[in-house]
Amino acid sequence: MNANLMDKIIALSKRRGFIYPGSEIYGGLANTYDYGPAGAELLRNIRNLWWDNFVHKREDVVGIDASIISHQEIWKASGHTAGFADALVDCKNCKLRMRADHLIENNPSFAKATEGKEEKVEGKSLEELEKIIKNNKDIVCPNCGKHDWSSVRKFNLLFPVNLGIVEGDQSLAYLRGETAQGMFVNFKNVVDSTRVKLPFGIAQLGKSFRNEITPGNSVFRTLEFEQGEIEYFFDPEESNWEKLFENWKNSMWDFVTKTLGVNKNNLRWREHGNEEKSFYSKKTEDLEYKFPFGFKELWGIAYRTDYDLKQHMKFSNKDLSIVDPQTGKKIMPHVIEPAVGINRMLLMVLSDSYVEEKERIVLKLNPKLAPYKIAIFPLLANKPELVEKAKKIFKDLSSNFVTVYDGRGNIGKRYFAQDEIGTPFCITVDFDSLKDNTVTVRDRDTMKQERIKISELFTCLTNKLS
Ligand code: ATP
């Protein structure tokens, strides 16, 4: 674990307006975070690229936006009210509550014993987890250092909400624990109201909520987070699931390495063993990224058969099968689900682009991801003629690029700040600009500066940023 790097990323995120601790002025609220101006832009860029790549650029995928507050029956049908539970254990000495699997996995002797092996604790029964913890005296509380654990118990992750304002007359609903159920519940609506034909996908981007208890590691695991999920429906008699599964894996890999520009040496695939996989899944794999705290799941892909649609048929009493218009054949579609967390992608992108050089820290973000593509400075912020010209350039460029005007401190400080935000180009308006209508354009990665005519800025930056 590179704790040092993680601390540096967290500090930079706060300093430059990417990520702030949630409810900070009230002492903070565990496992919640707020995104600042740079973070909001970065999230938006990741989200938009995901949607563009998996919805707009595919003729076989459509997008929906379902409600977050959802009927309790949805979560009974999906199995979440019964099975969506973590195994928890309490330290009897200091009352710290932890996920039992994480407690074991983070224990140095377990990590050593399983080094290089693909062993996971996830999926083990309550009894098995309890036995491991009780038998390993060196599994101590990370807070107080004692080995004094309660028994291991289940804890449901769904957030209940009470609808209605009259007490006693309220009805129970849930904040969605995943976006996926929106696709199953609306499956028939989409089939009946659009042009889709098997095989096709329904995609959704949006917030999900889980009452997670393991704190730490910034936005890796939070109570509310954004998911990008696709349910890809197909007729198992017409399509080969192994082939579709491989195709989706390739699309996921390409998105991370090519579209987001992440280093492929920091990525790996890991297949779930039988213990870890859901009972209805024929195959599940995780695309893992090497975060500063180790390889962890970024994006999961699972072949879920027809389990979900069948469950909703059973609970809703509605027929969710479809009929082939040509042959009249009744089909119960099967589904492959690639599911990613947008906030985890953001943390991955921050870790992957963080570079320390001799005299500066730079986020070498892919320009497509950079919160601002261009920063514009007047050489001196107290010279109205420079400010006016710089603001005019800001106005002209900002209709085509996300641009920021920065008039604080001196030029050196501004470069330093924009490097840490990952801004690919900085433009400075100086006294020569007033005479010859040229400006200095400085490249984030090479730090080289060149003089460009203001009239040519748009074309020049369009080329550089493409
Ligand atoms: P984990 O094992 O890490 O809890 P999961 O297998 O429960 O994840 P899924 O239900 O498959 O996760 O959700 C799909 C994706 O959503 C994950 O790959 C991850 O990127 C993201 N995700 C899940 N839970 C959280 C969370 N609490 N905070 C942030 N992102 C999350």
Cβ atoms of residues 304 and 280 within 8 Å:
yes
Length of the chain: 466
CA-302 nearest atom, ligand 1: 11
**How many Å lie between the centroid of ligand 1 and the Cα of residue 341?**
6
- pLDDT, residue 280, reads 86
Tell me the C-alpha distance between 332 and 308, whole Å: 11
Cβ atoms of residues 248 and 239 within 8 Å:
no
Q: Looking at ligand 1, which residue's alpha carbon is closest to its atom 28?
A: 221
User: Tokens at residue 306, please?
Assistant: 């027809």
pLDDT band at 106 (very low <50, low <70, confident <90, very high): confident
Q: Looking at ligand 1, which residue's alpha carbon is closest to its atom 11?
A: 300
Give yes or no for residue 39 having a pLDDT over 80: yes
**How many Å lie between the centroid of ligand 1 and the Cα of residue 99?**
14
**Residue that is written with structure tokens 């740079």 in the block:** 38
Q: Looking at ligand 1, which residue's alpha carbon is closest to its atom 8?
A: 297
- pLDDT, residue 90, reads 87
Tell me the C-alpha distance between 198 and 332, whole Å: 11
Q: Looking at ligand 1, which residue's alpha carbon is closest to its atom 15?
A: 340
CA-300 nearest atom, ligand 1: 18
Give Cβ neighbours of residue 159 (< 8 Å, ≥ 6 apart). Answer: 174, 175, 177, 209, 210, 211
Q: Looking at ligand 1, which residue's alpha carbon is closest to its atom 20?
A: 341
Give Cβ neighbours of residue 446 (< 8 Å, ≥ 6 apart). Answer: none
**How many Å lie between the centroid of ligand 1 and the Cα of residue 230?**
14
Give Cβ neighbours of residue 412 (< 8 Å, ≥ 6 apart). Answer: none
CA-177 nearest atom, ligand 1: 10
Burial class (CB in 10 A: 0-12, 13-18, 19+), 65: exposed
Tell me the C-alpha distance between 207 and 178, whole Å: 8
Give yes or no for residue 151 having a pLDDT over 90: no
Angle, vertex CA 86, rays to CA 85 and CA 90, nearest 5: 130
**Residue that is written with structure tokens 């994480």 in the block:** 102
Cβ atoms of residues 201 and 232 within 8 Å:
yes
Tell me the C-alpha distance between 192 and 194, whole Å: 6
What are the pLDDT digits (tens) for 77-94?
998 988 777 888 888 888
Give yes or no for residue 114 having a pLDDT over 70: no
* Of residues 122 and 373, more confidently modeled: 373
Give Cβ neighbours of residue 193 (< 8 Å, ≥ 6 apart). Answer: none
**How many Å lie between the centroid of ligand 1 and the Cα of residue 286?**
10
Among 225, 275, 276, say which to mutate for ligand 1: greatest number of ligand atoms within 8 Å of CB: 225
Q: 3-state SS string over 150-185?
A: CCCEEEECCEEEEECCCCCCCEEEEECCCCHHHHHH
What are the pLDDT digits (tens) for 173-193?
999 999 999 999 999 999 999
Adjacent-strand bridge partners of 428: 377, 440
What are the pLDDT digits (tens) for 365-374?
999 999 999 9
- pLDDT, residue 116, reads 56
Kindly compute the dihedral angle of the four CA atoms of residues 414, 415, 421, 424, in this order, to the nearest 10 degrees. Answer: 130
Q: What does residue 221 show for φ and ψ, rounded to 5 degrees? A: -135, 115
Q: Distance between alpha carbon 322 and the CA centroid of its chain, in Å? A: 33
CA-339 nearest atom, ligand 1: 14
Q: Looking at ligand 1, which residue's alpha carbon is closest to its atom 3?
A: 297
**How many Å lie between the centroid of ligand 1 and the Cα of residue 101?**
15
**How many Å lie between the centroid of ligand 1 and the Cα of residue 48?**
20
Mean pLDDT, the chain, rounded, equals: 93
**How many Å lie between the centroid of ligand 1 and the Cα of residue 449?**
43
Residues within a 6 A CB radius of ligand 1: 178, 210, 212, 221-222, 225, 227, 297-300, 339-341, 343-344
Give the pairing type, strands 61-64 and 69-71. Answer: unpaired
User: Tokens at residue 342, please?
Assistant: 């947008």
**Among residues 303, 287, 292, 295, which one has the least CA distance to residue 340?**
287
Among 179, 278, 297, say which to mutate for ligand 1: greatest number of ligand atoms within 8 Å of CB: 297
CA-220 nearest atom, ligand 1: 29
Q: Looking at ligand 1, which residue's alpha carbon is closest to its atom 16?
A: 341
What are the pLDDT digits (tens) for 333-349?
999 999 999 999 999 99
Angle, vertex CA 81, rays to CA 76 and CA 83, nearest 5: 110
User: Tokens at residue 326, please?
Assistant: 């040509």
**How many Å lie between the centroid of ligand 1 and the Cα of residue 397?**
38
**How many Å lie between the centroid of ligand 1 and the Cα of residue 270?**
15
Q: Count of CB atoms within 10 A of residue 241's CB?
A: 17
Tell me the C-alpha distance between 268 and 291, whole Å: 12
* Of residues 51 and 107, more confidently modeled: 51
Q: Looking at ligand 1, which residue's alpha carbon is closest to its atom 12?
A: 300
The DSSP letter of residue 400 is T
**How many Å lie between the centroid of ligand 1 and the Cα of residue 343?**
10
**How many Å lie between the centroid of ligand 1 and the Cα of residue 450?**
45
Tell me the C-alpha distance between 261 and 370, whole Å: 12
pLDDT band at 387 (very low <50, low <70, confident <90, very high): very high
